[in-house]
Structure 1
């Protein structure tokens, strides 16, 4: 059994360490390199963007008298390979697959213990890919209240998701970098089922080399492009105010009656 993190409402590993069943449970996947060293415990092990989003939603639900717990996806979150070699990229994609499998396992473990709890799946960058790859199998799953994908490397511009970030309001030719290299990245090139897309908030800014990758861009990893990718943070208004639709989805799911259907994640 994994030990509890020294942070209120957070557990590590599977949900077996959770002190009790909450109204809502958050499973958060960190981005590339965000689980190295101190990152395993900082921000709950889920990276700053995902953890800040969790804190925002937890505070809003607390006003309604709803309880919320959370855990990080237990996966390597391998750094982006600096040299760009094939071996490095294969290790990176192995990390994505490990994360997708871990997400499915942790979701099933938690909901087996707490079948009435609604779950939010959230990820940033590589972590968003980890979450996205589970969503194709979770279209009709009543356990999932909402999903949050920030700077998703598997992003399709015409997907069924709730779109936020500057790509939602400005013209853009890019898409997720894994979609551009779908064979090597082993990613699904089809849109998400509409039933889960309507519960998924996808955030991407124009010029982000991960979620808005443009193959015609000469220097996709320029300092300015990296600055765009690392500038995400939940805000109270504007294109990064993803907390509002996320809260609306979760509050609605908590109030809705149970349908009783259960679906297994990630093709398990």
Structure 2
């Protein structure tokens, strides 16, 4: 299993813009809250919104969209002791979702037929999501170990693409556990397991958007796990833009795979307001649950 690390440092104006008074203290002590990130779609541990991130930086291991969630959320956490942890699993590239000529021809006729969907699942989508189970396991282990050593801490989780899928699945497995009870906020950006969600919805995708694995699982009964909405929806933000190839999967996205892939990779862009809007709306719900642990 991949090793999981935690990082902690003083968050300065060079990391957060505008400047924040958030205190991120050395890893030896327990923090009031840990922000736990799971990157996705081919992102490397050192990928950053403003360039390469070095190990030891609190944003290391997050990936660009998850970093944006963190910087938006921590703008108003003055004086709260925050730690950061990241999921070290390997996230496959969204290039695997490029449709085959057979699938393209099916889509041009206005539908996604069973034969084409089966081929697409085995040749592209299954390799794309193959890392999700590993990421799920690493995340569960990370949270379980941390709550044992820091029983009063809280967790805010964020995941992008396969990282969102790993987080989606981990939430279900953590139900009824001490680690699960410590989760106070979740941001799922471009969740490929999105399904008839009752979570808080943000972005330009329709509220009933389905993820790529959800859609194909609805057609192919052999696809596991079966579709299920995320649990504890009151603390979850599902963030997805229209025709994103991962979280709003369907014929329109497949017809224009270039644009759909570009949409999927745009959540960290300064002009995209899906993440800032979600964080602004969820912030008070989350922060009120850590105020007593300052």
TM > 0.5 fold call: yes
| Matching of residue 179 in structure 1 with residue 223 in structure 2 | no
Partner Cα distance (1:21, 1:6) in 2: 11
Q: Structure 2: how far apart are the matches of 1:135 and 1:30?
A: 16
Residue 142 of structure 1 corresponds to 181
Work out the CA distance in 2 between the residues paired with 1:114 and 1:245: 28
Q: Within 5 A, what are the aligned runs for 1:79-228?
A: 79-80=93-94, 81=96, 86=122, 89-139=125-175, 141-156=180-195, 158-167=196-205, 171=206, 174-182=209-217, 183=221, 185-193=223-231, 196-214=232-250, 216-217=251-252, 219-220=254-255, 222-228=257-263
User: 1:218, CA displacement in angstroms?
Assistant: 7.1
Gaps spanning 5+ residues in structure 2: where?
Answer: 12-25, 54-58, 100-119
- With the length of structure 2 as denominator, give the TM-score of the two structures: 0.71
Q: Secondary structure at the match of 1:35?
A: coil
What CA deviation, in whole Å up to 9, does each residue of 1:230-258 have, x standing for no partner? 1213889964411113322221221469x
Q: Runs of 5+ in structure 1 lacking a partner?
A: 10-16, 258-268
1:234 and 1:243 in contact (8 A); partners too = no
Matching residue within 31, 35, 40 for 1:26? 35
Q: Is the 8 A contact 1:29 1:73 kept in 2?
A: yes
Native 8 Å contact 1:122 1:147 kept in 2: yes
Which residue number corresponds to residue 78 of structure 1?
92
Match of 1:266 in 2: none
Quickly say closer, same or farther: Cα 1:218–1:127, change in 2 above 3 A.
Answer: closer
How far 1:83 moved relative to its partner? 6.8
Partner of 2:76: 60
Q: Name the CA distance, whole Å, in 1 between partners of 2:71 and 2:273.
A: 19
Taking structure 1 as the reference length, the TM-score comes to 0.77
Give me the whole-angstrom Cα distance separating, in 1, the residues matched to 2:278 and 2:213: 23
Count of matched residue pairs: 240
